[in-house]
């Protein structure tokens, strides 16, 4: 770190008016100069979507918690790209996304707009963290989460983070004094059992709502799910090299002569 105050980009996927981003901004102001660029509407479940076939709008809004803030018509990943290339004109020293209202543990990482913003930070070689609290309530209590954010932010600014990785931090919905600690974990092999609820609209046509149940059959005690169920904050280092190196050898036995 240089001696100047770090430049920090804050974004999220619940939208610029969410309580969670306000809590995150409050903590970030203690550490550096803060810019906020966040979606103008909820963008949960947007994954790593990026707007390539349409245009983006960007509006500077009234300052939030005393810092400059822009709302963007696009996805969380669009927010990160616009922030870096159209507003800040240099890469920030830290990117934080959240605090998400709801879990982004295990398989949720691939659907999560919060985490995709952090992954985009990693792609840009910026130390990046996505924070999520296991509480969907719009008025959730972020006090314990703020303490976790403070600790992790101090660490990432001190130690940096290996290029190409970011952190997926999930915080259990328990009072601060009951949090047992912070655990470095792997992503649990836990999944959604999807279902759709079919309804009929007033004109007689069907439409569908995605529903489903979360199932964890991964009994490992080194997973994010285990940590969260046992009173710990989970920290999973995440990278964007999706290569499944462990199956390359078996693929090399396939027969490609016929092409």
Among residue numbers 171 through 200, which ones bind a copy of itself (CB under 8 A)? 179, 181-182, 184, 186-187, 189, 191, 194-196, 198-199
* Smaller CB separation from a copy of itself, 7 or 111: 111
Q: What are the residues whose beta carbons fall under 8 Å from the beta carbon of 3, sequence distance 6 or more?
A: none
Q: Is residue 26 within 8 Å of residue 146, measured between CB atoms? A: yes
With CB under 8 A as the contact rule, the residue among 78, 93, 135, 225 that binds a copy of itself is 78
Residue 20 backbone dihedrals phi, psi, to 5 degrees: -60, -40
| Size, binding site for a copy of itself by CB under 8 A | 86
Scanning the structure block, which residue is given the tokens 């910026």?
Answer: 126
The burial class, CB within 10 Å (0-12 / 13-18 / 19+), for 147 is: middle
- 45-64 residues in contact with a copy of itself (CB under 8 A) are 45-53, 55-58
Q: Does 256 bind a copy of itself (CB under 8 A)?
A: yes
Helix (H/G/I), strand (E/B), else coil: 258: coil
Q: Does 250 bind a copy of itself (CB under 8 A)?
A: yes
With CB under 8 A as the contact rule, the residue among 42, 61, 68, 91 that binds a copy of itself is 42
Q: Does 81 bind a copy of itself (CB under 8 A)?
A: yes
Q: What are the residues whose beta carbons fall under 8 Å from the beta carbon of 11, sequence distance 6 or more?
A: 21, 36, 37, 38, 39, 76, 79, 80, 83, 95, 96, 97, 117
- Residue 126 beta carbon to a copy of itself: minimum distance, rounded to whole angstroms: 13
- 221-240 residues in contact with a copy of itself (CB under 8 A) are 233, 235-240
Q: Does 88 bind a copy of itself (CB under 8 A)?
A: no
Q: Does 137 bind a copy of itself (CB under 8 A)?
A: no
Q: What are the residues whose beta carbons fall under 8 Å from the beta carbon of 254, sequence distance 6 or more?
A: none
Q: Does 157 bind a copy of itself (CB under 8 A)?
A: no
């Amino acid at each position: 770190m240089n001696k100047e105050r770090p430049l920090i980009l804050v974004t999220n996927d619940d939208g610029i008016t969410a309580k969670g981003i306000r809590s995150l901004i409050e903590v970030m102001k203690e550490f550096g100069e803060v810019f906020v660029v966040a979606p103008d509407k909820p963008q949960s479940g947007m994954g790593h979507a990026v707007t390539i076939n349409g245009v983006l709008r960007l509006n500077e809004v009234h300052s939030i918690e005393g810092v400059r803030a822009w709302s963007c018509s696009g996805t969380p990943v669009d927010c990160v790209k616009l922030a870096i290339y159209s507003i800040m004109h240099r890469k920030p020293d830290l990117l934080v996304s959240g605090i998400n209202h709801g879990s982004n543990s295990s398989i949720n990482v691939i659907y999560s707009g919060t985490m995709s913003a952090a992954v985009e930070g990693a792609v840009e070689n910026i130390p990046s963290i996505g924070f999520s609290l296991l509480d969907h309530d719009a008025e959730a209590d972020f006090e314990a989460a703020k303490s976790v954010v403070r600790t992790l932010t101090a660490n990432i600014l001190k130690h940096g983070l290996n290029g190409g990785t970011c952190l997926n931090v999930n915080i259990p919905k328990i009072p601060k004094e009951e949090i047992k600690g912070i655990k470095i974990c792997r992503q649990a092999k836990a999944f959604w059992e999807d279902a759709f609820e079919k309804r009929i609209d007033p004109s007689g046509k069907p439409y569908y709502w995605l529903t489903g149940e979360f199932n964890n059959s991964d009994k490992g005690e080194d997973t994010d799910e285990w940590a969260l169920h046992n009173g710990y904050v989970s920290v999973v280092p995440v990278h964007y090299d999706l290569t499944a190196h462990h199956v390359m050898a078996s693929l090399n036995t396939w027969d490609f002569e016929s092409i």
